[in-house]
Amino acid sequence: MVGITVLMLAAALQVSAQPNTTTATAQPSPRSDLNGVTVPSKAEFRILLRGARTAHDERRIAAYYLNQAERFAHKAGEEQKISKEYARRTVFEPKTGYPGGMLQHCRELAFYDAQRARQFRNLAIMHERLAEGSAH
């Protein structure tokens, strides 16, 4: 166990000591306007979710979900890039064959973030349809 911890620490130090070869992109800032609709804050979103009455309310909810989908899609892409970096490494953990288990960890984060992005997109689509239905 101590050997694995030392290997993980050594790998972490190696990662932090090496120059960053990938271009780190900042997480996209929340959009204030999405398809002509103002993206609500989290507090506004919660209020809208409890009492959406108009097509505009439903579109604002959809905009919030779409904004979240973009955020998680970005996170998934970043985790994929990081996992590729770990896959290049030569220091491997004996039991798993992964560099300190981080390769698998990053792949799982990328998978779950991509899954959340899809779920948020589906919620956005549902609220867009509700908006279309309440507009008639």
Q: What is the pLDDT of residue 128?
A: 94
Quote the CA–CA distance of 49 and 32 in Å, as a whole number: 18
The pTM (predicted TM-score) of the whole model is 0.69
pLDDT tens digit string along 20-34? Answer: 444 445 555 556 666
In the predicted structure, residue 9 carries a pLDDT above the cut 70: no
CA atoms within 13 A on the CB side of 80: 10
pLDDT over 60 at 6, yes or no: no
Q: pLDDT digit string (tens) for 49-97?
A: 999 999 999 999 999 999 999 999 999 999 999 988 888 875 666 666 5
Helix or strand holding residue 122 (H, E): helix 102-135
Distance CA 42, CA 130 (A): 20
Size of the chain in residues: 136
Residues 121 and 69: beta-carbon distance below 8 Å? yes
CA distance 131 to 55: 4
Q: How far apart are CA 58 and CA 49, in angstroms?
A: 8
